[in-house]
Amino acid sequence: MKKIFTKFSVLTTLCLLLLNVAYAQNVTVKGKVTDGKLPIPGVGVTVKGTTNATVTNPDGDYSLSVPANSILVFSSIGFSAREIEVKNQTTINVSMATSTQDLEQVVVVGYGTQKRKDVTGAISSVSGEDLAKMPAVSPLASLQGKVAGLTVVNSGGAGSQPVIRIRGIASTNNATPLYVVDGFIQDNIDYLNPADIESIDLLRDASSSAIYGLRGANGVIAITTKRAAKGQTRINFTSNVGIQKVIDRIDVTDAEGFKKLYSTQLANIGAAPFDFSNYNGNTDWQDLILQTAIINTNSLTFSNTGEKTSTLINLAYNNQEGVLKYNQYQKFILRLSEEIRVTDKFKVGADITGFHDINQGATAGLNNAIWAAPIVPVQTDAYTYYAMPSFQRAQVGNPIAPMERNRNNSINKGLSFNGSVFAELKFLKNFTARSTFYARYGYDYSRGFTRPPFSFINVGENGGPTTTVIDNQFRSTVSQGQSESHRYQQDHTVTYEKTIANDHRVTAMVGFTSLRFAGSNISGSRTDSTLVVPDNPDLWYLGVINANNILTNGGGGNEQTNAGVFGRLSYTYKDRYLFNGTIRRDGSSRFAPQNRWGTFGSVGLGWVASEEDFFKDNIKAINFLKLRASFGRLGNSNGVADNRYQVLLANGRDAIFGENIFTAVGPEFFPDPNLRFEIIQGVDVGLDIRAFDSRYNAEINLYTKKTDGLLTSYPIQAGQPAFFTNLGEVNNKGIEVSMGWTDKIGKDLTFNVSGNFSYNKNRVISIGNTIDFQIIGNGGVNLTNTGQSIGYFYGYRQTGIYQSTADLDKTPKFSNSLPGDISYEDTNGDGIISPLDRTYLGTPFPPYSYGMSLSLGYKGFDALIEGQGVAGNQIYTQRRTQNFATLNYEANRLNAWTAPGTSNVEPILDNTRGNNYLFSSHYLEPGDYFRLRTVQLGYTFGANMLAKAGIQKLRLYLSGQNIQTWSQATGYTPEAQIGSILGGGADNGVYPIPAVYSFGLNVTF
């Protein structure tokens, strides 16, 4: 028995040893790493606890010999790390979840970068990949709905730039953020190719933008363009072609409806009926000026890196037709980026972008197409058009005639070059010195002429004859204009970085910067009463018309300089306690020498609670939790004209002395020798969280921002120039929330759900020397005064319609009010309606904005749905308030009051009753809307399918944008906040924002 037991023990031990050896043998594991739809190159694949590692190739593939019982760790910046047990598997495909707030992601913080986990301010990022998917000529247009606290108001015009606001409006002069492209300060970024952008970082709070001194008060949009990837040679081509179509039109009456309403109106005012017998048209003028338009974007990139150099060349062509006929915009871009690593510690580089655009503006009038009577036919031939009926003839023209007459009768082109060179040296182990010089030169020119007028048919009315007339006052005119601008900037920084005892990380930076920009323009035109200039662009020059004929000309220019010294200190202790501090001494030539300079700065503190031992031991679900608070102080010199502290002269009235006429001159305004920049101070408190294995992420911000010393024109005496000085305070308070969840269902289905919400309350704390001081906008429709928001709507509040004389007797009214008129609220309770009853009616700027998205990935397929909207603002339908003539009626007038009880909203059809055209809530509409911003479906072909063609990646997709909008607004678009800060929110012919249906591809060789 003992021998048997001994033999069994030996056999068992031998089997266990053999099994252990077999189990410990290496296996070769292969697989592909993707983000659920696209391969991820450069992912680190490491055997846990060892140095055995590899990285994925450009197709996301990897291969590694590992112990059969090991654990593989997959890690890459921008993705949550994953650990997977091998368990003798030879094929392991991995899908890595992205995190919109990855801790190691590098963001731009002004004259440098910082890891997101060390940031103490409110900075959001949008990847260039997200922007490149959208069929937009302007990269800013694609930011709409993606970032909390950011308001983007798009326009459908070809090549148009959107209006951008960050955290509300902090100034009555200018609210446009600062654009910084690879460190170069710009006023606009129309010269950029959206497909050539690596990322956009938005610095929203005062502490983040304080390092920009006098320029960053409205927030900063920092754009980083693409560079050549290390160790790779690539050719990438992206293209998108689509059609644009207006799906929401303004509802106006057709010929039958117009005849009915106009006849009713004439009866209401006791006028004779109109003779419609010779008007047999039923014209939809909107249909004739709008078109289905083409949009096409193309980008071709060559990139290569060698042992010492990296090179990137990008070529782009964008073409967009407007949905208004003959509106077209084209731009051509060539960019070259080169970097040379002279030694391990010294490198130099250069970047230059050439930009050329051609802009053909729209020649059709939106309002004219809405107002023109539909009873009129269009034309009899290419040169003969019908005139409007007698009740419109002097004020409203045939909308098609000027559109055709002015089509392609001008040339508008621009050319610019943006360039930079830099040198960077690492010295004394922990120091880095960098100097960069930037330059921009821009040149724009235009030429045009006027075509001879067409003939117009005046239809006979009331038995009169039909006649054909031509404009006998025609004068042939040729015009020319050109402008040039240049900008020079230099930045010099020295940075010190050191980690002490693995616990203390210190980064200190000091620098100097200067910016100078200037421009000039000149224009002229000549008119001849006998010469007809041919329709030939080669002849559109002033010299075509004799110099003795009528000449008008103009010109102007400006010049400005800024300079500043700055510093930043960042300190982190054990990745738990964070400190960021900045200081800047900055000056601007826009102000008097004694008031040009200011000192600005910020302090930010952060606590990464999740790094504390008690947190790690007790709260497993939360991977990262950071609390932060910051304070920033900066100035605002944006939107201020040059030399406002000096006396400037303006033309006054003419005076006659004997036989001579002299033009008088006088001060344009009374200057304030103590004029200074506005001061902005802001406090920000925030929370960043990642939980549930980084599948959930959230960011919450509370902020307050106060502007002191608003630059305001203050009237001293009626009829005298205003006094331009610093008066008043404005406060913005708000909350921003962003959340997202990234996860996987089963083996192949990945998804991401994200959303953002923001609320901003704008309030004027004080302005002027008295509480009665008001800044008037849009003819008194908008007011800015103490206690309300900037540019709020001010007018009468409608309570209904006066139904009868008895109703008038018991209701406050104007002395001339009649049944059928709008009844207004007696806000002061004095028993009558008067201008004293005007009151606050709402704000044109939405206090609430939000966005949401859902993305799905299944094997090679991907899908994206995005929505965006605003709430809480009002839209002024100014197009409805005109009564200079009888105009076509919008559909709401079909419900006009005709007798007691017929309507309590729409007044009587009578354009002689002025009380009904007073600005009131009757002409306001809710600006709330929700838009289905993007719906996209794509497919990425596997690398193995394309290897024989030499293609590394190919993605095809179908996309729809702006395909549905839910809104109570009756205009082309509810995005009517465009306009001046003091007079915004008016829909008086807002360019339609079309739906875009497109097909695109992205291929990499």
If you write DSSP's letter for every residue of 882-896 in order, what string do you get?
--SS--PPBGGGGG-
State the pLDDT at residue 49: 67
Name residue 733's beta-bridge partners: 704, 761
- Per DSSP, the residues of 372-383 read S-TTS--EEETT
What residue numbers bound the domain in which 79 lies? 2-98
Residue 389 is given by DSSP the state: P
Beta bridge partners of 98: 79
Model confidence at 15: pLDDT above 60: no
Mean pLDDT of 906-927: 96
Total number of domains in the chain: 1
Query: Cα–Cα distance between 425 and 493 in angstroms, integer?
Result: 11
In a domain, 173, yes or no: no
26 domain residue, yes or no:
yes
User: How many other C-beta atoms are found inside a 10 Å radius of the C-beta of residue 577?
Assistant: 13
Tell me whether strands 113-115 and 123-127 are parallel, antiparallel or unpaired: unpaired
The Cβ of residue 846 has, within 10 Å, a number of other Cβ atoms equal to 27
DSSP 83-132: EEE-TT-SB--EE--B-TT-TT-EEE-SSSEEEGGG--S-EEEEEHHHHH
Are the beta carbons of 390 and 462 closer than 8 angstroms? no
Which of the two residues, 139 and 827, has the higher pLDDT score? 827
Residue 306's nearest CA partner among 235, 236, 232 is 232
Average pLDDT of span 823-830: 96
Predicted confidence band at 718 (pLDDT cuts at 50, 70, 90)?
Answer: low
Residues in Cβ contact with 10 at an 8 Å cutoff, skipping those fewer than 6 apart? none
- The Cα angle at residue 395 between residues 390 and 397, in degrees rounded to 5: 80
- From the centroid of its chain, how far is CA 849? 14
Among candidate residues 585, 707, 708, 713, the one with its CA nearest the CA of residue 644: 713
Strand order from edge to edge, sheet including 94-95 = 61-67, 26-34, 94-95
8-state DSSP, 670: B
What's the CATH number where 67 sits? 2.60.40.1120
Neighbours of 85 (CB within 10 A): 12
The answer, yes or no, to whether residue 24 has pLDDT greater than 90, is: no
CA dihedral 836, 840, 841, 842 (to 10 degrees): 160
**Nearest partner of 121 among 216, 197, 190, judged by Cα:** 216
Average pLDDT over residues 454-464: 91
Residue 788 pLDDT level (bands cut at 50, 70, 90): very high
Please report which confidence band the pLDDT of residue 951 belongs to, taking 50, 70 and 90 as the band edges.
confident
- Give a yes or no: residue 685 inside a domain: no
Lowest mean pLDDT among 421-425, 623-627, 693-697, 910-914: 693-697
Q: Could you tell me which of 700, 707, 734 has the C-alpha nearest to residue 632?
A: 707
Q: What is the pLDDT of residue 974?
A: 94
- Examine residue 712 and state whether it is found in any structural domain, yes or no: no
Q: Which residue has the tokens 């338009």?
A: 293
186 touches 139 (CB < 8 A):
no
Return the DSSP state at 274. Answer: P
Are 355 and 418 contacting, i.e. CB atoms less than 8 angstroms apart?
yes
Region for 591 from its dihedrals, namely left if φ exceeds 0, alpha if ψ lies in -120 to 50, beta otherwise: beta
Q: Indicate the pLDDT class of residue 11, thresholds 50, 70 and 90.
A: very low
Which tens digit of pLDDT belongs to each residue from 673-693?
A: 888 999 999 999 999 999 998
User: If you average pLDDT over residues 74-85, what whole number do you get?
Assistant: 74
- In this prediction, residue 422 carries a pLDDT of 97
**3-state SS of 29-42?**
EEEEEECCCCECCC
CB neighbour class for 983 (10 Å; exposed up to 12, middle 13-18, buried from 19)? buried
The one-character DSSP state at 746 is T
- Integer Cα distance of 475 and 454 in angstroms: 13
Q: Are strands 455-458 and 384-386 parallel, antiparallel or unpaired?
A: parallel
Q: Give the whole-number percent of the chain exceeding pLDDT 70.
A: 93
What are φ and ψ of residue 833, in 5° steps?
Answer: -100, 130
In whole angstroms, what is the distance from residue 834 CA to residue 408 CA? 50
- Examine residue 667 and state whether it is found in any structural domain, yes or no: no
> Which pLDDT score, from 0 to 100, does residue 797 have?
98
Mean pLDDT for the chain overall: 89
What distance in Å separates the CA atoms of residue 490 and residue 471, rounded to the nearest whole number?
Answer: 57
- Whether residue 856 is contained in a domain is answered as no
Instruction: Tell me the range of 77-91, 96-110, 706-720, 818-832 where mean pLDDT is highest.
Output: 818-832
pLDDT for residue 225 is more than 70: yes
pLDDT in tens, 613-632: 899 888 988 999 999 999 99
C-alpha 1000/C-alpha 237 separation (Å) is 11
pLDDT category, 664, cuts 50, 70, 90? Answer: low
Euclidean distance between CA atoms 246 and 254, whole angstroms: 19
pLDDT of residue 662: 67
At residue 748, the pLDDT reads 81
Quick: pLDDT tens for 322-332.
999 999 999 99
Query: Is 434 in contact with 454 (CB distance < 8 Å)?
Result: no
Q: Which residues contact 5 (CB under 8 A, 6 or more apart)?
A: none
d(CA 512, CA 584): 9
Comparing 727 with 182, the larger pLDDT belongs to 182
Q: Are 604 and 207 in contact (CB under 8 A)?
A: yes
In the block, which residue shows the tokens 């004068």? 475
* Helix, strand or coil, per DSSP, at residue 916: helix
What's the average model confidence in pLDDT over 951-968? 93
Residue closest to 708 by CA, chosen among 764, 761, 670, 669: 764
208-222 pLDDT, tens digit per residue, is 999 999 999 999 999
* Domain assignment present for 510: no
pLDDT for 98 equals: 59
Closest C-alpha among 804, 802, 768 to residue 786: 768
Mean pLDDT on 32-37: 80
pLDDT at 99: 52
How many percent of the chain have pLDDT more than 90? 66
Instruction: Check whether 271 has a pLDDT greater than 70.
Output: yes
Query: Does 80 map to a domain?
Result: yes
Q: Give the model's pLDDT for residue 87.
A: 86
pLDDT at 9: 45
Q: Which H helix or E strand runs over 946?
A: helix 943-946
Rounded mean pLDDT of 178-202? Answer: 93
Q: Would the CA dihedral through 786, 789, 793, 796 be positive or negative?
A: negative
For position 326, what pLDDT does the model report?
Answer: 95
Identity at 707, one-letter amino acid code: T
Sequence-distant (≥ 6) Cβ neighbours of residue 951 within 8 angstroms: 941, 943, 1003, 1004, 1005
Distance CA 990, CA 855 (A): 32
Instruction: Report d(CA 34, CA 861) in Å as an integer.
Output: 12
User: What residues contact residue 694 under an 8 Å CB cut-off, 6+ apart?
Assistant: 80, 97, 99, 623, 624, 742
Q: Note the pLDDT of residue 650.
A: 66
Confidence at residue 20, expressed as pLDDT on a 0 to 100 scale: 43
More confident of the two residues 336 and 651: 336
Long-range contacts of 714-723 (CB under 8 A, 24+ apart): 714/768, 714/769, 714/773, 716/670, 720/670, 721/666, 721/667, 721/668, 721/669, 721/670, 722/669, 722/670, 723/669, 723/670, 723/672
Cα dihedral 246→247→251→253 (10° resolution): 80
> What would the mean pLDDT of 965-977 be, rounded to a whole number?
91
Contact 176, 164 (CB under 8 A): yes
* Burial of 554 from C-beta contacts in 10 A (0-12 / 13-18 / 19+): exposed
pLDDT of residue 3: 44
The pLDDT of 428-432, averaged and rounded, is 93
Distance CA 643, CA 593 (A): 11
Asked whether 135 and 297 are in contact (CB, 8 A), the reply is: yes
Residue 982: closest CA among 760, 767, 759: 767
Which among 247, 360, 238, 242 is positioned nearest to 295, based on CA atoms? 242
Q: Write down the pLDDT at residue 77.
A: 54
SS3 627: strand
List phi, psi (to 5°) of 542. Answer: -60, -35
For β-strands 53-55 and 44-47, DSSP reports them as antiparallel
CA–CA separation, 274 and 266 (whole Å): 8
